[in-house]
């Protein structure tokens, strides 16, 4: 149906037969696989979204990595360590999915390091106390799941398949965060205060994770027509608030929003918009931790050069040896 309305990528010209056939496949919920024909805009949008998502997973290790050595018990340390390792795995699945679109991991990382590509705004906020590990797991992973569950049905095959495993792991992450919050909220008055403080600081940045409000979203319309995105930013933000407010009530904590109120008519909560000026400033590179996060990633890249060189040298040597063996056998 949408196919009838499709315009060529170039602008107002009528869509080409190839573009129409492509859109018809999307409309039939067929998966698009690597090396199949796709409009250049579809490929570019996917590289942008998957690449930024991969970067978010990798940069997202930093605020939590900050607490591994200071986890309060051995059990908490082991759990946090496993979670941070999972994030590295998510980054790798996603970089691999992006590579099927013809972009190398090195190119994507170069664009992250130069600031040309973004990563999620949320990771530019500091994690100041152990309660922040609870709030990050509960709210940040909770928001990530809300966004990523629909992406399991995204139209690009490798991306949708990567999402299935990622979502399973994210569910464990969200639960471990909520478990920390339960422990803190039911602990001493000081611990409960730390949990409330973490909620106060992470609530609005978590709402920002879904992206700007629909009226300011640049890519949503096209991405939804291509089923790269399944829902709008505001739809997912509303779902997140609806699910999270009762969880906060169960903890005995207060969501830091005086406008928050149940709206019987829409069967959802009314809530305050985040400070969008702050959001746009953070994604421009001016958040509290942007410089520190990028500097840490660049250092890790530079310090890993000897290891990458070693791996490449070994791969080249093995390839030469295999070629020589083939030659000898002929």
| 111 in contact with ligand BYC (CB under 6 A) | no
Which C-beta is closer to ligand BYC: that of 30 or that of 281?
Answer: 281
Binding window for ligand BYC (CB under 6 A); candidates: 2-10, 50-58, 179-187, 270-278: 50-58
| 283 in contact with ligand BYC (CB under 6 A) | yes
Under 8 Å between Cβ of 263 and 270: yes
Look at residue 281 and give its three-state secondary structure: helix
Length of the chain: 330
Could you give the CA distance from residue 171 to residue 118 in angstroms, rounded to a whole number? 24
In the complex, the smallest distance separating the C-beta of residue 326 from ligand BYC, rounded to whole angstroms, is 43
Q: How far is CA 101 from CA 41, 46, 147, 156, 160, in A?
A: 12, 8, 22, 10, 14
Give residue number: closest CB to ligand BYC: 60
Binding window for ligand BYC (CB under 6 A); candidates: 19-27, 34-42, 202-210, 299-307: 202-210
Task: Dump the DSSP string for 209-272.
Answer: TT-S-GGG-SSHHHHHHTTSS-S-HHHHHHHHHHHHHHHHHHHT---S-TT-EEETTTTEEE-P
| 325 in contact with ligand BYC (CB under 6 A) | no
Binding window for ligand BYC (CB under 6 A); candidates: 70-78, 96-104, 181-189, 208-216: 208-216
Binding positions for ligand BYC, 226-265, rule CB under 6 A: 229, 233
Q: How far is CA 17 from CA 4, 5, 11, 97, 132, in A?
A: 11, 13, 15, 27, 52
In the complex, the smallest distance separating the C-beta of residue 192 from ligand BYC, rounded to whole angstroms, is 24
Which C-beta is closer to ligand BYC: that of 155 or that of 233?
Answer: 233
Binding window for ligand BYC (CB under 6 A); candidates: 96-104, 216-224, 285-293, 297-305: 216-224
């Amino acid at each position: 149906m949408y196919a009838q309305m499709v315009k060529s990528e170039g602008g107002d010209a009528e869509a080409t037969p190839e573009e129409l056939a492509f859109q018809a496949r999307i409309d039939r919920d067929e998966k698009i696989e690597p090396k199949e024909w796709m409009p250049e805009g579809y490929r570019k949008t996917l590289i942008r979204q998957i690449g930024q998502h991969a970067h978010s997973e990798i940069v997202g290790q930093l605020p939590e990595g900050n607490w591994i050595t200071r986890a309060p018990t051995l059990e908490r340390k082991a759990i946090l360590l496993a979670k941070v390792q999972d994030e590295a795995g998510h980054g790798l699945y996603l970089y691999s999915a992006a590579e099927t679109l013809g972009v190398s991991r090195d190119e994507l990382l170069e664009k992250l390091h130069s600031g040309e590509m973004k990563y999620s705004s949320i990771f530019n906020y500091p994690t100041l106390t152990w309660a922040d590990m609870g709030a990050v797991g509960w709210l940040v992973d909770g928001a990530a799941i809300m966004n990523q569950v629909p992406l399991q049905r995204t139209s690009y095959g490798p991306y949708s398949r990567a999402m299935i495993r990622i979502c399973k792991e994210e569910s464990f992450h969200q639960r471990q965060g909520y478990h920390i919050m339960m422990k803190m909220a039911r602990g001493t008055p000081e611990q409960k205060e730390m949990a409330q403080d973490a909620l106060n600081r992470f609530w609005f940045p978590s709402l920002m994770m879904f992206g700007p409000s629909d009226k300011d979203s640049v890519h949503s319309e096209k991405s939804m027509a291509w089923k790269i995105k399944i829902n709008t930013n505001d739809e997912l933000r509303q779902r997140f608030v609806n699910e999270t407010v009762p969880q906060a009530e169960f903890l005995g904590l207060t969501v830091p929003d005086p406008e928050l109120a149940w709206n019987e008519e829409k069967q959802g909560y009314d809530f305050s918009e985040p400070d969008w000026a702050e959001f746009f400033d953070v994604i421009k590179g001016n958040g509290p931790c942007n410089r520190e996060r990028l500097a840490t990633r660049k250092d890790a890249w530079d310090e890993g050069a000897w290891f990458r060189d070693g791996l490449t040298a070994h791969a080249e040597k093995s390839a030469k040896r295999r070629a020589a063996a083939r030659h000898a056998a002929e």
